[in-house]
Amino acid sequence: MGSRDSSQLRTRLRQVNVEYSALVRDRSGEGRLVRMSVLRAERRALMDMLFGGGSGVRRPLASRPLRPDVAIMQAAE
């Protein structure tokens, strides 16, 4: 994907995010929940195209150390 394609996808992603945020703030709109679900799906597709998250599995951004009590319980299993 070229820089122009990437730029267009990022622009569309920003538009989707702005529209979604407006719907979150305006709770009175008819069909709001349906439109929000469509925007969420489009956002997910744009993110996959931009960053290649094809697995659909969410991963933590950074690994966190286990709390000592959790580590002991897991070691006991």
Is residue 3 included in any domain, yes or no? yes
Q: At which residue do the structure tokens 């489009």 appear?
A: 42
Domain boundaries, position 23: 1-55
Block mean pLDDT (10 aa), the chain, length 77:
90 96 89 94 95 63 55 55
pLDDT at 41: 96
pTM: 0.64
Is residue 62 included in any domain, yes or no? no
pLDDT at 75: 58
Name the domain count of the chain. 1
Q: Which long-range contacts (CB under 8 A, 24 or more apart) does 35-39 make?
A: none
pLDDT at 52: 87
Find how far residue 45's CA is from the centre of its chain.
10
Is residue 65 included in any domain, yes or no? no
Is residue 71 included in any domain, yes or no? no
